[in-house]
Structure 1
Amino acid sequence: MRTISSVLILGSAVTLTLQNLQFGPDPYFWAFVHFCCVGSYRVFQKNFKSSHLSELEQQFINYVVSLLLLASAAHPTGDLFDVLEFPFRSSYKFYSGCFASGILGFFLLLAGVKLKTGPSLVHCAVWLFLAKILASGLSIFLFSTEFGLLTWCCIFMNHAAEALNIHANRALER
């Protein structure tokens, strides 16, 4: 079931990438850089598991390293100065959305750390899954974008695959 779940998640991500070409290749490059940052954090976390660093300190190190990697990658791609031409740079909705995203992401991080120290990992995964569904549901109403049938199918397939993964982990935990 875990393999099927991973294939479904990968399939929905690739389908969305190939289907949604309205932004060009730049967002996908940054998604790849983010993927590399998350992967390097996972390697760091696995290698230093016996470290004396708390979960919050590890997350802080992850954010600092990601910020440095993204900032250093922004100059060669030309995105560093393209920020000045960003069309929503003077929009209060953009800044309030960024602020809300940061605050809610921080609280989600705190909740995740608290859940990992308390109940089982499956219980934590269920709560994080519900938070992702809530975030994706709210974003549909907050951002003005049009979704086609294929996009809706990919979103549903991604959520179903994550639920399947949680179910598979729950079965392994027993």
Structure 2
Amino acid sequence: MKKAATASIMALAVVMGLAACNREPAPVAAETPAEAWVGKDVVLYLPDPVMKARVEVAALSPYVNAAAIAAEGAIRAAPAQAGASGMLLLMVKPGGRSKAWVVTGEPAASAETVAAVVKAVEAVPAPAVREGPILVGVGFEAWGGGAPPAGANPPIPRDWYSYFPKDGGRLDDAFMARVWPD
């Protein structure tokens, strides 16, 4: 008799517990907005021995980090857009001169946003380089990312293809002088 009473009480407790449960589906959390900027990889566009001969790693690393932070600030200040993935290219020449380009896949960030990123990055003091230019890329995803840039890997701006000779070519000092003449 005790077993039957205990079983009845347990069954009642289970039924009452189930009755107290909310049977509505759990609310789905609103999708969190995509991160405005996520830095990815850093790419050296020139061979390692050339880079080491032209710039001190101790100077290059802080510059690349500062440029990425400047780009991130410009992206965060821009209105949210469709996701974009790409490469921020940083060319530095002797004399503390620097220039930036943004290469993305589709969809591309707005022209205003790209201009703001370039302006912010070009305001970052460049490291000292010697003997010739250097070229570094910072991969990124903005607003959740999008398709990667088409073409070369690592990517270059589409208009740069016109600077290569018809029989091909290399990304070297002569090429960079055509892309960004003195």
**Shorter-chain TM-score category?**
under 0.3
Q: Which has the greater radius of gyration? A: 2
Q: Which has the higher contact order (CA 8 A, sep 6+)?
A: 1
Q: TM-score, normalised by structure 1?
A: 0.24
Which structure's residues are more often strand, by fraction? 2
